[in-house]
Protein backbone atom coordinates (compact mmCIF):
# COMPACT_ATOMS: atom_id res chain seq x y z
CA UNK A 1 0.00 0.00 0.00
CA UNK A 2 1.14 3.50 -0.75
CA UNK A 3 0.00 6.70 0.94
CA UNK A 4 0.40 10.28 -0.24
CA UNK A 5 -0.32 13.58 1.49
CA UNK A 6 -2.06 15.63 -1.17
CA UNK A 7 -1.88 18.65 1.15
CA UNK A 8 1.91 18.39 1.39
CA UNK A 9 2.29 17.81 -2.35
CA UNK A 10 -0.06 20.72 -3.07
CA UNK A 11 2.01 23.04 -0.85
CA UNK A 12 5.24 22.02 -2.59
CA UNK A 13 3.80 22.33 -6.10
CA UNK A 14 2.20 25.72 -5.31
CA UNK A 15 5.58 27.01 -4.14
CA UNK A 16 7.28 25.67 -7.28
CA UNK A 17 4.58 27.17 -9.53
CA UNK A 18 5.05 30.55 -7.87
CA UNK A 19 8.75 30.47 -8.78
CA UNK A 20 8.31 29.06 -12.31
CA UNK A 21 8.25 31.42 -15.32
CA UNK A 22 5.21 29.52 -16.65
CA UNK A 23 3.37 29.85 -13.32
CA UNK A 24 2.80 26.07 -13.34
CA UNK A 25 4.23 23.00 -11.67
CA UNK A 26 3.13 19.37 -11.61
CA UNK A 27 3.97 16.04 -10.01
CA UNK A 28 2.55 12.66 -10.93
CA UNK A 29 1.66 11.03 -7.63
CA UNK A 30 0.37 7.74 -8.98
CA UNK A 31 0.69 5.86 -12.25
CA UNK A 32 2.41 7.08 -15.33
CA UNK A 33 3.05 5.75 -18.81
CA UNK A 34 3.14 2.14 -17.68
CA UNK A 35 -0.28 2.35 -15.93
CA UNK A 36 -3.84 2.82 -17.18
CA UNK A 37 -4.54 5.22 -14.30
CA UNK A 38 -2.53 8.39 -13.71
CA UNK A 39 -3.01 11.02 -11.01
CA UNK A 40 -1.14 14.29 -11.18
CA UNK A 41 -1.14 17.27 -8.83
CA UNK A 42 -0.98 20.48 -10.87
CA UNK A 43 -0.41 23.91 -9.32
CA UNK A 44 -1.00 27.11 -11.27
CA UNK A 45 -0.69 30.78 -10.38
CA UNK A 46 -3.58 33.14 -11.10
CA UNK A 47 -3.84 33.89 -14.82
CA UNK A 48 -1.68 30.98 -15.95
CA UNK A 49 -3.18 28.30 -18.16
CA UNK A 50 -2.81 25.00 -19.93
CA UNK A 51 -3.58 25.76 -23.56
CA UNK A 52 -6.15 23.78 -25.51
CA UNK A 53 -5.22 20.10 -25.79
CA UNK A 54 -6.68 16.62 -26.29
CA UNK A 55 -7.49 14.34 -23.38
CA UNK A 56 -5.52 11.07 -23.30
CA UNK A 57 -8.57 9.27 -21.84
CA UNK A 58 -11.42 9.70 -19.39
CA UNK A 59 -10.44 12.33 -16.86
CA UNK A 60 -11.59 14.27 -13.83
CA UNK A 61 -10.22 17.36 -12.17
CA UNK A 62 -10.59 17.74 -8.40
CA UNK A 63 -9.95 21.28 -7.21
CA UNK A 64 -7.87 21.07 -4.03
CA UNK A 65 -7.32 24.84 -3.65
CA UNK A 66 -8.33 28.02 -5.43
CA UNK A 67 -10.49 28.45 -8.53
CA UNK A 68 -10.17 27.21 -12.10
CA UNK A 69 -12.01 27.55 -15.40
CA UNK A 70 -12.21 24.54 -17.71
CA UNK A 71 -13.24 25.35 -21.28
CA UNK A 72 -14.14 23.24 -24.30
CA UNK A 73 -15.05 25.33 -27.32
CA UNK A 74 -17.73 27.83 -26.27
CA UNK A 75 -18.60 25.97 -23.05
CA UNK A 76 -16.92 26.78 -19.72
CA UNK A 77 -17.17 25.35 -16.22
CA UNK A 78 -15.75 26.96 -13.09
CA UNK A 79 -14.62 24.98 -10.10
CA UNK A 80 -13.44 25.93 -6.64
CA UNK A 81 -12.00 24.05 -3.67
CA UNK A 82 -13.82 20.76 -3.19
CA UNK A 83 -15.36 20.64 -6.68
CA UNK A 84 -14.90 17.73 -9.06
CA UNK A 85 -15.08 18.55 -12.77
CA UNK A 86 -15.45 15.92 -15.45
CA UNK A 87 -13.04 16.73 -18.25
CA UNK A 88 -14.79 16.60 -21.63
CA UNK A 89 -13.54 14.23 -24.31
CA UNK A 90 -13.23 17.20 -26.68
CA UNK A 91 -10.26 19.56 -26.91
CA UNK A 92 -10.16 21.66 -23.76
CA UNK A 93 -8.09 24.18 -21.81
CA UNK A 94 -7.60 25.03 -18.14
CA UNK A 95 -7.11 28.50 -16.66
CA UNK A 96 -6.29 29.47 -13.08
CA UNK A 97 -8.87 32.08 -12.04
CA UNK A 98 -6.83 32.42 -8.83
CA UNK A 99 -3.82 30.55 -7.49
CA UNK A 100 -4.92 26.93 -7.51
CA UNK A 101 -3.96 23.30 -7.10
CA UNK A 102 -5.87 20.48 -8.78
CA UNK A 103 -5.68 16.71 -8.86
CA UNK A 104 -5.98 15.45 -12.43
CA UNK A 105 -7.03 11.80 -12.70
CA UNK A 106 -6.78 10.18 -16.14
CA UNK A 107 -7.77 6.66 -17.13
CA UNK A 108 -6.02 5.77 -20.37
CA UNK A 109 -7.83 2.40 -20.37
CA UNK A 110 -10.91 4.24 -21.62
CA UNK A 111 -9.19 4.81 -24.96
CA UNK A 112 -9.11 1.07 -25.66
CA UNK A 113 -12.82 0.82 -24.92
CA UNK A 114 -13.60 3.72 -27.31
CA UNK A 115 -11.95 1.98 -30.26
Which range (19-23, 33-37, 78-82, 109-113) has the least confidence? 109-113
In whole angstroms, how far apart are CA 83 and each of 64, 79, 96, 101? Answer: 8, 6, 14, 12
* Tens-digit pLDDT profile for residues 41-63: 999 999 999 999 888 789 999 99
Which domains, from first to last, does the chain contain?
Answer: 6-108 (2.60.120.10)
Amino acid sequence: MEKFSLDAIARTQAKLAGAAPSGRSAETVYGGHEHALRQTVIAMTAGSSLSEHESPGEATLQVLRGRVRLTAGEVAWEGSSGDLLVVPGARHALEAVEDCVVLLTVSKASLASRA
